[in-house]
Amino acid sequence: MTSTTIDDAPFIEPSTRERRNYLNDEYGVLSWLLTRDHKRIALLYLFSVTTFFIVGGIIAFMMRLELLTPEGDMFTSDTYNKLFTLHGVVMIFFFLIPAIPAVMGNFILPIMLGAKDLAFPKLNLLSWYIYMIGGTFGIIVIITGGVDTGWTFYTPFSTQYSNTKVFATTLGAFITGFSSILTGLNFLVTIHRMRAPGLTWYRLPLFVWSMYGTSVIIMLATPVLAITLVMLMVERVLRVGIFDPALGGDPVLYQHMFWFYSHPAVYIMVLPAMAVISECVAAFTRKKIFGYKFVAFSSLAIAFLSFLVWAHHLFVAGISIYSALIFSFLSMFVAVPSAIKVFNWTATMYKASVSWQTPMLYVMGFIGLFTIGGVTGLFLAALGVDVHVHDSYFVVAHFHYVMVGGTIMAYMAGIHYWWPKITGRMYPEWWGRLSALLVFVGFNLTFFPQFLVGYVGMPRRYHAYAPEFQVLNVLSTAGATVLAVGYLLPIIYLTWSVKFGRKAGANPWGAVGLEWATTSPPPKENFHETPVVTWEAYDYPAFLKAMKETQDV
Amino acid sequence: MNDFPLFPESASSVAPLVDGLYLALVAITGSVSLLIWIVIFYFAIKYRRRPDNELAQEQEPPAALEMTWIVLPTIIFMGIFVAGAVVFFRMSRTPANAIEVYATGRQWMWKFQHASGQREINALHVPVGRPVKITLASEDVIHSLWFPAFRVKTDVLPNRFRTMWFEATKTGRYHIFCAEYCGTMHSGMIGWVEVMEPVEYQRWLAGGSEGSLASQGEKLFEKYACNTCHTNTSGARGPNLAGLFGKTRQLTNGSQVVADENYIRESILNPQAKIAAGFQPLMPTFQGQVNEDDLIRLLAYVRTIGVDQPVSTPVESAQSAQQSSGAPTTTGATTSTAPAATTGATGTQPAATTTNQ
């Protein structure tokens, strides 16, 4: 095999059949709003989650501006409290949780399986509408005065003391949960029932394994969130005592129930990121992922273990020291499968053909930042250290390294990687690399100082703070400015590239996978003929041979 | 400390342990992370895509690596768990000779009460070199009392007492923060803890108060007519409370319970929950009548009933502790001022002892 076969093939004028794709198959607003095509639904999600990301980002930036000075001089305390609450609610419920599964999972998963669509296309569209209804509640809350409980809605503050829009916000989160559940259900059934001929479980791309783990968590954990939020709303509105001690309830019970969902939810956000990273590592090293089965099963291990660690959020909240001991012990184990993945991705690069294109830069950024996010999780799982750093900026830095340094880096990697497949156009490479660099530098400048200021003693959710914390906060705000530019650039150049980008061939990266075996953008039914899989996952020579044979036919 | 600290002041007996563990974790995880980054960049540069390696050479690293990086991290993580647990146990076990202080959190202030009766708001005075135990309650939402310089923190709950302790090792003025978000002025729910030389602390304690907490509690005990049933006579309608605190008590349902802070609290607010063996469920609830401050006073009193030496008088215990532990530098200074302070505090004791006779 010569190098030209895997190089970006020169653009060949496609036949009429190939010119018809999912984007130009139908026109008109209704053809989008009533579509059952998983690719179009993925784009509906892309626009919606990007909008929420921008909203959440602007709110974050306003907070960083307030924190430039120790005094609370830019907003009132109430406004600041609403800002960090809305930032959390918008970013977690309306961006991070749906982002990768609903955009990339929706678009790529059926194509990876060689399927025409997800198992339940109407349910898929319904899930977007449910998401939008939940999101509308979020927007209404922002417009009509906001909410100030923190995204965690801790009782009895949320049920008894807060005078803000708690009911509407929790209702929005409650409704959005059903959208996740439907997506998870759809993925599970699709992965079980709709794989192409020859696509056995161990031939599945690791993206699919991770999405499988994600879907399991979504299906099992989200109903618990729904139950918890209903109980919260019942207590707030009907004054039925569940969590509020004044009514005979127990406030710590709420924390148990909330984190029973919300800790697994961390993995609802992280597992899809790992899914994207596995694909990008294979594509940009042109190599089989080292330890395929270990990476695959580590996804399932994470899905299982994520349910056994919730009370590590409660070490100082009033649980007994023996339950603290057990949950600290179990929390240590959940770090093992994540470590396995990081080591395997790294080992894959050994004697590989490593490209320095934008998605790979994001991948390297991801591994670096996610590693910091992961190991600082060990600090928090270690009881003696957690007592000091719990509810400090150390925690804020930790979960931003996981959520932003992990999930959003992976999201950016995936968007750039599959952009040519989604739009049929290439993004401008140098702009891509510049933005990846800005995001990496800006991110570290924003969040690394927060580890330091947290250990020194700055509590989270503070509108005003002690003067000795100022220098680190100014650094953090400076970093946020760089980060904002890093995120704005892709929004601009990706939009630009839809019309002006270089046309992409079917497989511009020379990557392995069924999504690269169809045209860019794919036809409405994804493949012109049902593909037959004859190669193991990420087996470059076998895949390229199979592609050559199909072309020759 | 300068204006730009990168590391917090270390001023308690557990702080060096926490810092030691923290720095060890920084060293271990830092070097592993650094190793991963170096390897990634080394591979990314060494095996960068060139015309002669358009396709990977498909040479796998040895498979034994896989087991290595499953087993090795697991062992390291277990080590971290054990180290964290050891420090945590040190933090959790309150020394027996600790001074008793009571704290109440409310939107948005901290109220501290000393056993001798002094009350302060958003400020706390403690002696250096003596364990201090704080019994915590909240009047409204969940708060969290954090002393960054002492590396300890405990959430304060509205439905039960929590306790925490520290032993300051350095005099000075350190931050008190509320660490659990509690509403509008959460970031204003802050204060200062003043760690003083024992001599100065005694002097501070001697400065005016309305009588010890226990004596205030005793007045409440009469006001709420607790003493009409909880007498020491046989055939009394309520159980005898003398010497009760800290003892194991038999219940009518056959189970046993330790009479700790939360048992006393529950017996006042929800007396039907646990009925002492041999008694009828006659006691009415005081939920909504007794506020958190009064609960603390009643608790302070109940602790002293039937105890010849009040357990929680700071001066008393401060002295006995220093004699038993023989704290080297401060003993001489303390004993010289102690007698005066002791008489002040013991003035309230007769009341406590007469009640149960």
Confidence label for B208 from pLDDT (cuts 50, 70 and 90): low
Identify whether the C-beta of residue A370 lies closer than 8 Å to the C-beta of residue A342: yes
Do the Cβ atoms of A252 and B7 come within 8 Å?
A: no
User: Looking at the predicted structure, is the pLDDT value of residue B335 above 50?
Assistant: no
Closest CA to B125 of B114, B115, B137, B135: B114
Residue A14 lies in a domain: no
Closest CA to B159 of A157, A235, A320, A248: A248
B159 in A contact zone (CB under 8 Å): yes
Contacts of A476 in chain B (CB under 8 A): none
Residue range A176-196: mean pLDDT, rounded: 96
For A141, B9, B147, B160, B177, the CA distances from B151, given in Å and listed in that order, are 38, 10, 6, 23, 12
* Residue B163: its H or E element: strand B162-167
Identify whether the C-beta of residue A63 lies closer than 8 Å to the C-beta of residue A80: yes
For A188, B172, B175, B342, the CA distances from B127, given in Å and listed in that order, are 62, 10, 16, 16
Largest CA distance in chain A: 76
Q: What is the pLDDT of residues A386-395, one digit of tens each?
A: 999 999 999 9
Q: How many Cα atoms within 13 Å fall on the side-chain side of residue B245?
A: 17
More confident residue, B353 or A429: A429
What are the tokens at A336? 């093992």
Identify whether the C-beta of residue A306 lies closer than 8 Å to the C-beta of residue A217: yes
User: Looking at the predicted structure, is the pLDDT value of residue B124 above 60?
Assistant: yes
- Residue B303's φ and ψ, nearest 5 degrees, are -60, -30
Do the Cβ atoms of A388 and B151 come within 8 Å?
A: yes
Residue A5 lies in a domain: no
Q: Which residue has the tokens 């300068």?
A: B2
Identify whether the C-beta of residue A407 lies closer than 8 Å to the C-beta of residue A96: yes
A contact residues 376-395, partner B, Cβ 8 Å cutoff:
376, 378-379, 381-388, 390-392
Q: Which of A157, A162, A350 sits opposite B43 (nearest CB)?
A: A350
Spell out the long-range contacts of A156-159 with Cβ–Cβ below 8 A and sequence spacing 24 or more: A156/A243, A156/A244, A156/A245, A156/A246, A156/A249, A156/A251, A156/B140, A156/B141, A156/B142, A156/B158, A157/B141, A157/B142, A157/B181, A157/B182, A157/B183, A158/A232, A158/A236, A159/A232, A159/A235, A159/A236, A159/A243, A159/A244
- Residue A279's φ and ψ, nearest 5 degrees, are -65, -45
Contacts of B1 in chain A (CB under 8 A): 468
Confidence label for A16 from pLDDT (cuts 50, 70 and 90): low
In angstroms, what separates the C-alpha of B91 from chain A's closest C-alpha?
8
- Strand-strand pairing, B131-138 and B191-196: unpaired
B180 in A contact zone (CB under 8 Å): yes
Handedness of CA A451, A452, A453, A455 (dihedral sign): positive
CATH code assigned to B213-355: 1.10.760.10
User: Looking at the predicted structure, is the pLDDT value of residue A357 above 70?
Assistant: yes
User: Looking at the predicted structure, is the pLDDT value of residue B329 above 50?
Assistant: no
**What distance in Å separates the CA atoms of residue B258 and residue B274, rounded to the nearest whole number?**
11
Residue A13 lies in a domain: no
For A116, A355, A509, A546, A547, the CA distances from A552, given in Å and listed in that order, are 24, 29, 21, 10, 9
Confidence label for B289 from pLDDT (cuts 50, 70 and 90): confident
Three-state SS at A194 = coil
Q: Which residue has the tokens 């899809």?
A: A272
Confidence label for B311 from pLDDT (cuts 50, 70 and 90): very low
B77 in A contact zone (CB under 8 Å): yes
Neighbours of A237 (CB within 10 A): 11
Q: How many residues does chain B have?
A: 357
Contacts of A344 in chain B (CB under 8 A): 66
Confidence label for B3 from pLDDT (cuts 50, 70 and 90): low
B135 in A contact zone (CB under 8 Å): no
Please give the single-letter amino acid code of residue A202. Y
Q: Which of B8, B155, B187 sits opposite A464 (nearest CB)?
A: B187
What are the tokens at B176? 């008190």
Q: Residue A157 has what DSSP assignment? A: I
**What distance in Å separates the CA atoms of residue A242 and residue B107, rounded to the nearest whole number?**
22
What are the tokens at B138? 């909240």
**What distance in Å separates the CA atoms of residue A532 and residue A544, rounded to the nearest whole number?**
14
pLDDT-wise least confident of A131-140, A539-548, B131-140: A539-548
Residue A27 lies in a domain: no
SS (H, E, C) B187-212: HHCCEEEEEECHHHHHHHHHCCCCCC
Q: How many residues does chain A have?
A: 553
Q: How many independent structural domains does chain A possess?
A: 1
Do the Cβ atoms of B40 and A364 come within 8 Å?
A: yes
Closest CA to A78 of B71, B186, B249: B186
- Residue B224's φ and ψ, nearest 5 degrees, are -85, 5
User: Looking at the predicted structure, is the pLDDT value of residue A32 above 70?
Assistant: yes
Q: What is the pLDDT of residue A551?
A: 66
Identify whether the C-beta of residue B351 lies closer than 8 Å to the C-beta of residue B238: no
User: Looking at the predicted structure, is the pLDDT value of residue B303 above 90?
Assistant: no
What are the tokens at A485? 């530019």
Question: Which sequence spans correspond to the domains of chain B?
Answer: 213-355
Confidence label for A204 from pLDDT (cuts 50, 70 and 90): very high
Contacts of A387 in chain B (CB under 8 A): 18, 88, 91, 151-153
Identify whether the C-beta of residue A105 lies closer than 8 Å to the C-beta of residue A187: yes
Residue range B231-259: mean pLDDT, rounded: 83
A467 in B contact zone (CB under 8 Å): yes
B185 contact partners, CB below 8 Å, separation of at least 6: A77, B107, B108
A contact residues 76-95, partner B, Cβ 8 Å cutoff:
77-78, 81
Q: What is the pLDDT of residue B315?
A: 44
**What distance in Å separates the CA atoms of residue A523 and residue A117, rounded to the nearest whole number?**
12
Q: Which residue has the tokens 């004596």?
A: B215
B184 in A contact zone (CB under 8 Å): yes
Q: What percent of chain A has pLDDT over 70?
A: 96
Q: What is the pLDDT of residues A442-486, one digit of tens each?
A: 999 999 999 999 999 999 999 999 999 999 999 999 999 999 999
Identify whether the C-beta of residue A489 lies closer than 8 Å to the C-beta of residue A435: yes
A243 in B contact zone (CB under 8 Å): no
Identify whether the C-beta of residue A523 lies closer than 8 Å to the C-beta of residue A39: no
> What residue numbers bound the domain in which A306 lies?
32-552
Category of B172 on φ-ψ map: left (φ > 0), alpha (ψ -120 to 50) or beta? left
Identify whether the C-beta of residue B301 lies closer than 8 Å to the C-beta of residue B352: yes
Residue A86 lies in a domain: yes
For A309, A432, B98, B163, the CA distances from B134, given in Å and listed in that order, are 29, 56, 9, 6
Domain CATH number, residue A187:
1.20.210.10
Residue A19 lies in a domain: no
Kindly compute the dihedral angle of the four CA atoms of residues B283, B288, B293, B297, in this order, to the nearest 10 degrees.
-10
B216 contact partners, CB below 8 Å, separation of at least 6: B117, B210, B297, B300, B301
pLDDT-wise least confident of A3-12, A27-36, A112-121, A196-205: A3-12
Q: How many helices (H) does chain A have, and how many strands (E)?
A: 20, 0
**What distance in Å separates the CA atoms of residue B144 and residue A389, rounded to the nearest whole number?**
12
Three-state SS at A479 = helix
Q: Give the rounded distance of the alpha carbon of A252 from its chain centre.
A: 29
Q: What is the pLDDT of residue B308?
A: 61
A515 contact partners, CB below 8 Å, separation of at least 6: A108, A111, A112, A418, A421, A522
Q: What is the pLDDT of residue B322?
A: 42
Q: What is the pLDDT of residues A224-238, one digit of tens each?
A: 999 999 999 999 999
